[in-house]
Every structure is written in structure tokens, then in C-alpha cells.
Amino acid sequence: MNTNLLIATNGFKGTWPSIEYGAWLATALEAGITLLGINEKPNPAAIDDHHPLEDLFARAVGLFQEQGAEYSLEVQNGDAEHIIPAKVRQGNYITVIGPLGRSQLKRLIVRRSILHLLEQIDTPILYVPAPRLPLSKALICVGGLGYEITAEHLAMRMAMKSRAEITLLHIIPPVDLDYPTARAVRDHWQSLPETDTPIGRSLRQALELARADGLIAQTKARKGNVVEEILTEVKEGNYDLLCMGSPYSTRALRQLASPNVTAEVMETVSCPVLTARYQRES
């Protein structure tokens, strides 16, 4: 499991919640912090001008010191979509990132920044549009094939810090196929943990893991469009953290693994979203 955080900012004020949340997470995981400042528009002629990164770095250092976190500071020139993945590959970090303040036109032309990062980063990503602390309620999406395990274990480590309640959510999308497992899920969708199906076994294992850690945990199922149902559950449940499984795994459930689904959820919800690709544990 990753033990170092990479918190990235391009100076946009909307990245401050990710710095604040990253400071809390470093304490929860006993992790070190690398604060990466990205100067996306370097101008040698303006070397003496005040840059927004300076203010964010000053606030961040004060926060890190207040919480007793070990940290290092780094500034690089270039586009965040290229700088962040390159840095992650050097240290196998948990990446903590917030909105980068891209214009709507740029997002239409070159796609959303978070989609670029999901494509290029293999390790966990925590997207923080708002800090939502303390963490008291966490929602973990469970797909049934085990590809959510990496993100699930990290979310439970976070939940243990503040004894957060855990809800394990499975979405049953509309399907036309009719085979024994599909029928079992369809007929017993409100009592899935009691079924001998892949999703039933995954939910039971996750429940056992959470309860072994002393956490209050429950399961929940919804039927319908995956994105719409996740967004509805997040809104109705007022969760402080959403955990989704691997955004890139060719054998995972397509509806939960599709990168545009993950990115759409990330950019729509107002709570932090944790996602990670599945990694086999040694």
C-alpha cells in the first residue's frame, strides 16, 4: 500500500481543499507529503512578480507544520496533465488533486484534466472538490469481481481514523442477458450479501473486513443507470467520501470501470472521490 502522498496544485484557489484534505490524510495514514507546485505559464520576464503558488505554499507549510506532517516542496514548469503523472511514476504516490480551474472551452477541446490523470496514473487518486471533514460517512461502490479491493482497503484505512460509518453500494444496471447468476442477482437484489454470487461474496467479504476493523458497516443496492444511481445515493446519503473501483481494468464490470463514468462522477459530486486500479497484493 502506498505510504506517500503527492498533493498537486497549479496555484488555482480551488486546489486548496485538496491540500487541506491531504494534510489530514497524511496524519491518518502516517504518510509523508510531497507538495508539487506546477507553474503552467512560466514567464522569465515576470520573475519578480508574485505568483499564486506562493500564497498556497505558505498556507500549506503552516498547515503541515501545525499537524506535524513530514513534507517536501517542489515546483515544476509545464502542464499539470503531464507533470503530475510523470512525478507519480517516480515515487508510487497516492495522488491528491482538486479542480485545476480549466475554462469550459479548454475542457471541451482537450477533455477534462481528471480524465487525463485517470488514464495515466496507476496508483490511487483522491479528487477533492471540498474537504468534507471530519469523515463520518463513506460510500464504497462494490462491483462484484474484486477490482474495487485496492480502493476499498484504502477507504477503510481512512474511515478508521475517524470511526466513519461505511455503506457498501452495488448498482444493478439494466441487462438483457438471462443466465443463472444474472437471475439470482435480479431476483434477490435487496438481499445480495445472502446470495452465492460474485457480488454477494464481495459484499460479505467487505462487511467482514469493515467489522473486523471495528467499523459500522451496511450494504445497499440500487437498480438503474450506474452514474445516475451513484449520484443519487451520494446526494441522498450526504456522504463525506465516495470510493470507486478501478477505472481501467478490461475484465471489470464495464459500467463501474469506464473512465468517463468515473470522471463524470468525480466532476459532479461535491464530496471527495477516491479511485484506484486493482493491484494484486503479495
Domains, the chain, ordered by start: 4-127 (3.40.50.620), 137-275 (3.40.50.620)
Residues 3-31 have a mean pLDDT of 94
Q: Is the pLDDT of residue 70 over 50?
A: yes
The 8 Å CB, 24+ separation contacts for 81-87 are 81/113, 81/116, 81/117, 81/120, 83/8, 83/36, 83/38, 84/6, 84/8, 84/36, 84/38, 84/117, 84/121, 85/116, 85/117, 85/120, 85/121, 87/6, 87/8, 87/34, 87/36
What's the pLDDT score for residue 90?
92
**pLDDT value of residue 234:** 95
pLDDT for the residue numbered 279: 60
- Give the mean model confidence (pLDDT) for residues 253-272: 70
Q: Taking all residues of the chain, what is their mean pLDDT, rounded to a whole number? A: 83
- pLDDT the model gives residue 46: 56
pLDDT above 70 (res 280)? no
pLDDT digits (tens, 9 = 90+) for 134-175: 999 999 988 755 556 778 889 999 999 889 999 999 888 776
What is the percentage of the chain residues whose pLDDT exceeds 70?
78
Q: Is the pLDDT of residue 282 over 60?
A: no
Q: What is the pLDDT of residue 223?
A: 87
Residue predicted with more confidence, 116 or 157:
157
Residue 257 has what pLDDT?
Answer: 43
d(CA 257, CA 142) in angstroms, rounded, equals 11
Query: Average pLDDT of 24-38?
Result: 95
The pLDDT assigned to 68 comes to 93
At 218, list the grid cell. 451496511
Identify how many contiguous H helices and E strands the chain contains and give both numbers: 11, 10
Give the pLDDT mean for 44-58.
76
Per-residue pLDDT averaged across 108-135, rounded? 83
| Global confidence as pTM | 0.86
Q: What is the mean pLDDT of residues 255-282?
A: 72
- Average pLDDT, stretch 66-79? 95
